[in-house]
């Protein structure tokens, strides 16, 4: 059986995490949250500061960022729009050793179908994509946990070829 015929070797998108770090709580964070809801169709959750940084006026425990986790069809639909915002190009350095990758968008209005709303402003965002293969569940399940073999882990080369084939994205050096 070749790799194309074996369903256990096929790479898939596990999840896409979209993060907007504002650096302050209050009105700016609420506007960023509205933008995320508009783009993804899901409510965002707030992330709190881990420590106090007096120079930036951040206190420990203060909400400073919002994020959304997308899975399945919503993740694929959002990724297609996000790749268009970066001209279907991402750097080879965006990939880690496990085939996951992250990239940023400087202004959310670059995403197709998004209009500028003066009351909300313009925000940048980080997009992290986690790739996996069938059978990864054995590592995280509650009962009878097991290890995932080294040959079954998604490698950066596998991830790059998956992104090229599925989304037509060019990998830059």
Where along the chain do its domains lie? 7-172
pLDDT over 60 (residue 1): no
* Interval 119-158: pLDDT, tens: 888 899 999 999 999 888 888 889 999 998 888 889 999 9
Cα–Cα distance measured from residue 42 to residue 36, given in angstroms and rounded to the nearest whole number: 8
Please say if the pLDDT value at position 65 is more than 80.
yes
Least confident segment among 2-16, 35-49, 91-105, 114-128: 2-16
pTM of the model: 0.86
Q: Which CATH class is domain 7-172?
A: alpha beta
């Amino acid at each position: 059986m070749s790799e194309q015929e074996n369903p256990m070797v096929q790479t898939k998108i596990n999840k896409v995490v979209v993060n907007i770090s504002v650096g302050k709580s209050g009105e700016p964070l609420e506007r960023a949250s509205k933008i995320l809801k508009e783009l993804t169709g899901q409510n965002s959750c707030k992330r709190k500061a881990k420590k106090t940084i007096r120079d930036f006026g951040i206190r420990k425990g203060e909400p400073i960022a919002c994020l959304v986790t997308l899975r399945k069809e919503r993740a694929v639909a959002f990724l297609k729009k996000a790749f268009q915002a970066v001209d279907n190009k991402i750097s080879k350095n965006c990939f880690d050793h496990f085939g996951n990758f992250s990239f940023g968008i400087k202004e959310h209005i670059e995403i197709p179908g998004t209009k500028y709303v003066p009351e909300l402003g313009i925000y940048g965002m980080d997009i992290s994509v986690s790739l996996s293969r069938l059978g990864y569940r054995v590592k995280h399940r509650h009962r009878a946990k097991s290890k995932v073999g080294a040959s079954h882990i998604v490698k950066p080369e596998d991830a790059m070829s998956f992104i090229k084939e599925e989304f037509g994205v060019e990998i830059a050096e």
